[in-house]
Amino acid sequence: MDQQVSRIKPLGVYFTLAYLISWLIWFPLYSPALGIKSLPVLAFHHGIGGLGPLIASFITTWIFEGGEGINNLFRRMIKVRPLLYVVIALLSPFLLAFMASLINYLVNQHPLALSGLFAAKEFPEFSFAGFLLYNLFFFGWGEEVGWRGFALPRLQYTFNALSSSIILTVFWAIWHLPLFLYRPGFMDMDVAGIFGWVFSLLTGSVLLTWFYNSSKASILVCAIFHATVDIVFLADFNDQNISNYMGMLITIWGIATLVIFKPHNLSRTEQNCQ
């Protein structure tokens, strides 16, 4: 019992810090919705708030594990082997986009249209490489060092991989709450849209657990997949059908992962609790 409490306590500290840091950074962005206006907003302010989980993971790791824990966390942030999963994480979302566009062509006779993949709607001045690096730093490492690098392995000490993914989805969804006050796309969601969004988080959580466990605890792999999925699903396709088909395909992938790799480990190897 004491050992279980000692594992839960760092998670409580981590989640509290992740929310506090991100929500405080984002405050000037959502404060107008609360009647507080004219607070200064920085360049890339939203992205800076995405670093909250990373900062929280390093603080909590230092508190409970000291320098050895920090070194372990950093090693997993740059772990590139097995290289296969780096390649899958980098290319698979773009393959999904191509498949979705192809389905749209075959079903609706709409022309293949993938040019939106290579233009950042939010930052039109960015090259594709620049936008990839932006997403990798602020939302790949920014989030995944915390969610998968810190929280997931500690949840897997107590729960199986699927249960850990579901629990983590709840905390991950809560972290996004301020975005409903200022972020385009979130502000317009109705109940059905919120349900679909939470389901997409759950699907992503299952796949990210598979990536983490299969790659033997590589945070880099999870960060790359998070970044490339964000790029693909936020791309400006000018055809909603493509986005819908991508959602269908990634859901099928998530279900197939559960069937093939089983809920206990979500990989062919044992859970990674590093």
Across residues 80-98, what is the average pLDDT? 95
- The mean predicted confidence, pLDDT, of the chain is 92
User: Is 126 contained in some domain?
Assistant: yes
User: Is 267 contained in some domain?
Assistant: no
Across residues 122-135, what is the average pLDDT? 88
For the chain, what percent of residues have pLDDT higher than 70? 96
In angstroms, the Cα distances linking 95 to 6, 64, 92, 199, 232 are: 42, 41, 5, 21, 10
What pLDDT is attached to residue 123?
83
Cα Rg for the chain, rounded, in angstroms?
Answer: 19
What pLDDT is attached to residue 273?
60
Helix ranges restricted to H, 78-190: 83-108, 128-135, 142-146, 152-155, 161-175
**Predicted confidence (pLDDT) per residue in 33-51, tens digit:** 999 998 999 999 999 999 9
Distance CA(89)–CA(225), nearest Å, equals 4
- Name the region of 246 (left: φ>0; alpha: ψ -120 to 50; beta: rest): alpha
pLDDT at 274 over 70: no
pLDDT at 148 over 80: yes
User: Is 274 contained in some domain?
Assistant: no
Distance CA(127)–CA(140), nearest Å, equals 18
What pLDDT is attached to residue 3?
52
| pTM summary value | 0.94
Q: Residue 248 corresponds to which tokens in the numbers above?
A: 């269908």
DSSP secondary structure string for all residues of 196-262? HHHHHHHHHHHHHHHHHHHTTS-HHHHHHHHHHHHHHHT---S-HHHHHHHHHHHHHHHHHHHHHHT
With cut-offs at 50, 70 and 90, classify the pLDDT of residue 240.
Answer: confident
In the chain, how many domains are there? 1
What pLDDT is attached to residue 2?
46
Q: Give CA angle at 217 (211, 221), nearest 5°.
A: 45
pLDDT at 152 over 70: yes
What pLDDT is attached to residue 1?
47
Across residues 107-135, what is the average pLDDT? 83
Distance CA(98)–CA(267), nearest Å, equals 26
User: Is 266 contained in some domain?
Assistant: no
In angstroms, the Cα distances linking 211 to 35, 145, 245 are: 42, 14, 22
The domain in which residue 194 lies consists of 2-261
Q: Angle formed by the axes of helices 240-261 and 191-214, to 10°?
A: 50
**Predicted confidence (pLDDT) per residue in 154-165, tens digit:** 999 999 999 999
